[in-house]
A = this chain, B = another copy of it.
Amino acid sequence: MTAPSQQDWQTLALKKRSTLSSQIPPEWLLPTTLLSTLTPTSTKSLLSVPSTSGILTAREIDLTENHDATSLVAMMLKKVATSYEVTLAFCKRAAIAQQCVACLTEFFPTEALTRAKECDEYLEREGMGMGELHGLPISVKDSFNIKGIQSTIGYVSFLSHPPASSNSVLIDILLAAGAVFYCKTSLPQTMMTTDSHNNIFGRTLNPHNPSLTAGGSTGGEGALLAMRGSVLGLATDVAGSNRIPALCCGIKSFKPTSRRVPFKGKTPPGRLGSPTSILPVIGPQGRSVRDFEMWMKTVMTSEPWRYDEGVLDVPWRVVEPAQRPLKFGLVRGCAKRPLHPTVKRVLHTTCKALEKEGHQIVPLDGKIPDIWDCAVLAFKYFLLDPKKTPVQHVLASGEPWIPSMAKSFPEELKGWEASLDGLWDMNVERARVLSAWHDAFVENDLNAVIMPGYQSIAVPHDTYGVPAYTVLQNLIDYPAGILPFLNANQELDTPYVDKDAAYEPPYTPKAVEGAPGAVQIMGRPMKDEELVEIMKVVESVLERAT
């Protein structure tokens, strides 16, 4: 087999993009005058494009904008909405989102509408819904396998793969619960960088400001959800891939403890069999914490251990609403990645709002291992494959590296080579980090920790770098979620500027003006149920403080 020429990969990629475009019916296409303004250097918010495009009816605008998944399922069960009309509304809006921000990899509205109709008919016929997610359209990251649909995950070399011959375990579970699938969403080349950019589908833009990153690796979801082209999306997370797009795009997300949600049957970006102690995790992105609860409960009461031997047979527990007052640890950043002014203001305002409602904040300065050191350790685990399989997947097609890969690993690891002997020492170091975080929780009697999800809000393309504040939760396997709060505002942020701070990436207030802020909330391992309840409390506190 000869290596394909550079021409080849471009032709292949173009062909795939054309196929994707052809899935959008002509009546859902935006005017070319508008499309021509959509570039990665434009700064204009695209959030209002769908509702002003004339493509959606008033009803469809309402269905896609004013409800969370819990509400939509209730409406369908009460027959005040059909799955068909809800699915059609989200299909239209996803098509518009795709034209605006290049968030999709696969789009199959015809199959989705057929399925939605089946859900409606089931409800008519049986007098009950198909399941806890009856008729609900759900968007999924491209790495999930859906039978009959390709999973190229952004590698040009994977364009030769046939469509998936079976569903990921989680897809089967959600189908059994009544879900409707209608699209798959874009992600970065290798899935190990934070700009959702690849040589097949291009670069996903941030709907709030197309000159900023949408985050990654589940950035297609993040952008689609921000455009309200989806109400609930499936993300994965091994270094923050579920949470980074959420904090960049102003949506919510939840990363559970590992081994609770079935991961089996996905298309991996690297080599199977990693001896890493960092396990990838699936979690939802969406609009409300109660949606995450509905989703987790649905998945975890479906006996997922039956279908995936990697799942711990520990069913979802019904827990009491979070006890008040709550006690939160607070992480105020680390020396190597000081917090940008907007993030400082968001954290400060969050803590004030929580304290105002009687909750307690305990700064963890000096009580926890250095965040950056933990990130360097974590990224060593991502470099354990001597065969460098993701590199092989890229080289196989002749496609070039995407620019953001240059910054995706810590500088300290340039030239670093994994060894079996060194892996023992890494594990000892990881045990030390685990122990320190465990002790911080126990000794301070914490319910959860409030911290940044990143040192900045969404940054210009290809500058995000190492996601130190999110990879921590993967290194120690603690559940965590993102809640959006406030927006960059140069005037309000100025008092938070530290003139001596070496901001990395640079703080560029004009470039990020108006972009959404966010906080990260981290809970205890296996206590996903409790974290959901705590996030509900924070969610409502932040709503009142907005």
Which residues of A are in contact with B by a Cβ distance under 8 Å?
Answer: 271-275, 277, 306, 309-310, 312-314, 384-387, 418-421, 423-428, 431, 434-435, 437-439, 442, 524-527
Contact = CB atoms under 8 A, between A and B. Distances in A.
A314 B526 contact: yes
Copies of this chain, how many?
2
Given A387-B421, A420-B418, A312 B272 contact: no
B387 A306 contact: no
Contacts of A387: 421, 424
A428 B272 contact: yes
Contacts of A423: 273, 275, 420
A310 B312 CA distance: 15
27 contacts: A272-B424, A272-B428, A273-B424, A273-B425, A273-B427, A273-B428, A274-B427, A275-B277, A275-B420, A275-B423, A275-B427, A306-B442, A309-B434, A309-B435, A309-B437, A310-B434, A312-B314, A312-B525, A312-B526, A313-B524, A313-B526, A313-B527, A314-B314, A387-B421, A387-B424, A419-B420, A420-B423
A438 B309 CA distance: 6
Contacts of A424: 271-275, 384-385, 387
Ranked nearest first, the 10 interchain pairs of A and B with the lowest CB-CB distance are A309-B438, A273-B427, A273-B424, A273-B428, A420-B420, A275-B275, A386-B421, A313-B526, A275-B423, A309-B434
A466 to B, nearest CB: 23
A382 to B, nearest CB: 14
Contacts of A384: 420, 424
B525 A431 contact: no
A377 to B, nearest CB: 12
A313 B420 contact: no
Nearest to A272: B428
A272 B386 contact: no
A438 B311 CA distance: 11
A141 B180 CA distance: 56
Contacts of A431: 272-273
